[in-house]
Amino acid sequence: MLFDLYLPGRVLFGPGSTYRLGEEARRYGNKVLLVTGRRSLKESGNFERVTMPFVTAKLEFALYDRVPPEPTLEAVEELRRYLREEKCDVVVAVGGGSVLDTVKAATGLFYEEGTVKEYFYGREITKPKFPWIAVPTTAGSGSEATTIAVLKDPEVPKKQSLRHPFWLPDVAVVDPILTMSLPRELTARAGLDALTHAVEAYTCRFTNPFSDAVSREAVRLIVQNIYTAYTVPRNRDAREKMMQGSFLAGMAIQSAGVGAVHALAHVLGARYDLPHGLACGMLLPHVMAFNLPLVEDKYAQLAVTAGIVPPATPAPQAAERFVGYVRLLTTKLGLPTRLREVGVKEEDLPSIAEEALTASSMARNPRRASREDLLNLLREAF
């Protein structure tokens, strides 16, 4: 068996770990560029949590709070321009997957001469990245543990990942306290993205002992805590376990990859601005049902690990129960379950299937899917 591992070099995990941001940033110099989304961190109280350590460490910092909810090529280009002019020593990205991915690509292409668009469409990346620190505020994308930035070219529209082995953050500060104020709907969507990562990484075609171990544990943590984190947002233990789960799931997809859910979710995200976690949550049970004949034992293992069925349950029954659990989950989390409810048009389904067929993550799905298979799957989800 051959496999490559790209793991974050330095991870500070735990409630309150944000207070160490100052000492970490100081290793790179005196000036920090703090990058956030447009929704102010101030409402959640996280702005003080993140900036106090800079003040304590006597660091100068500039704020860039213009990352859009959906990271476009233009958003990366604009941040890269700003970063070049601002002359800081390190970037600290605080936010969900969109903020982390935007910063990852902007720092990754900092020293490159071409446009962001050129690299998105295949130009080779040869230069090292600019230093950055990842501080996730959602338990979802796992971007702090990956070399992947999912970006969108709205002109096509097309959504795909841009990645490079250099692109992991220099430090990941993973503090579940930052997720405590996350609204319920965002908690649910992010959690479904993380669950999809864990399930797809555990069952895809290129698993390895490392991805097996971390994705299985990620499924357990997420299944056992997602509903509590949603219903009792201030439950610290559930928030911490969700953060552990999304971080492990991030490492798992970095190591093994994803599958058909992500292939389809990216097409839907590009065309309809559908939030990524919601698209994943709606598609996951249908893709799982399609993959079931090839990965029954794996679903059964996950069902036992997560405590959905007792250990002695026969594999076919255990696997079915796991798919059933996932099918009910999106409803329990108060989210729409049908593509038609979120603006997807029935006449678009054939071209969505066509486009997803050639996505790179499709090649990693455990069961080969034809155009017809994907179309049937989309119809079931419609």
Residue ranges in contact with Fe ion by CB under 5 A: 193
Q: What letter does residue 337 receive in the DSSP assignment?
A: -
SS3 150: strand
Identify which of residues 175 and 193 has a Cβ nearer to Fe ion in the complex: 193
By CB neighbour count within 10 A (0-12 exposed, 13-18 middle, 19+ buried), where does 221 fall?
buried
Do residues 304 and 323 make contact, with C-beta atoms less than 8 angstroms apart?
no
Residue among 21 and 264 whose Cβ is closer to Fe ion? 264
- Whichever of 169 and 259 has its CB closer to Fe ion, that residue is 259
Radius of gyration from C-alpha coordinates of the chain: 20
Tokens of 301: 């293992």
Query: Between residues 46 and 143, which has the closer beta carbon with respect to Fe ion?
Result: 143
Least separation in angstroms between residue 138's CB and Fe ion is 12
Token pair listed for 211: 């991805």
As measured in angstroms, the least distance from the Cβ of 189 to Fe ion is 10
For the CB of residue 91, give the shortest distance to Fe ion in the complex, in Å: 23
Query: Whose Cβ is closer to Fe ion: residue 15's or residue 68's?
Result: 68
Least Å from the CB of residue 347 to Fe ion: 27
Which CB atom, from 83 or from 251, has the smaller least distance to Fe ion? Answer: 251
**Least Cβ distance, residue 156 to Fe ion (angstroms):** 20
* Closer to Fe ion by Cβ: residue 196 or 301: 196
DSSP per position, 158-186: EEEEEE-GGGS-SEEEE-GGGGTT--HHH
Ranked by CB distance to Fe ion, the top (closest) residue is: 193
Residue 282 to residue 70: CA distance in whole angstroms: 19
Are 216 and 244 in contact, with CB atoms under 8 Å apart?
no
- Is the CB of residue 134 less than 8 Å from the CB of residue 171? yes
What is the closest distance, in whole angstroms, from the C-beta atom of residue 84 to Fe ion in the complex?
30
Sequence-ordered alpha helix ranges (H) in the chain: 21-26, 46-56, 73-86, 97-108, 116-120, 184-203, 209-231, 236-256, 260-272, 276-305, 315-332, 349-357, 371-381
Shortest separation between residue 280's beta carbon and Fe ion, angstroms:
6
Q: Nearest approach, Cβ of 226 to Fe ion (angstroms)?
A: 15
Residue 25 or 284 having the CB closest to Fe ion: 284
For helices 184-203 and 276-305, the axis angle rounded to 10 degrees is: 60
What is the DSSP secondary-structure string of 223-289?
A: HHHHHHHHHSTT-HHHHHHHHHHHHHHHHHHHHH---HHHHHHHHHHHHH---HHHHHHHHHHHHHH
Please check whether residue 182 is in contact with residue 233, taking contact to mean a CB–CB distance below 8 angstroms. Answer: yes
- What is the nearest approach in angstroms of Fe ion to the Cβ of residue 155? 23
CB closer to Fe ion out of 22 and 259: 259
Nearest CB to Fe ion, comparing residues 135 and 265: 265
Name the one residue in this structure whose structure tokens are 């179309």.
375
Taking Cα atoms as reference points, which of 319, 326, 302 lies closest to residue 381? 326
DSSP state for residue 72 in the 8-state scheme = B
Q: How far is the CB of 190 from Fe ion (least distance, A)?
A: 10
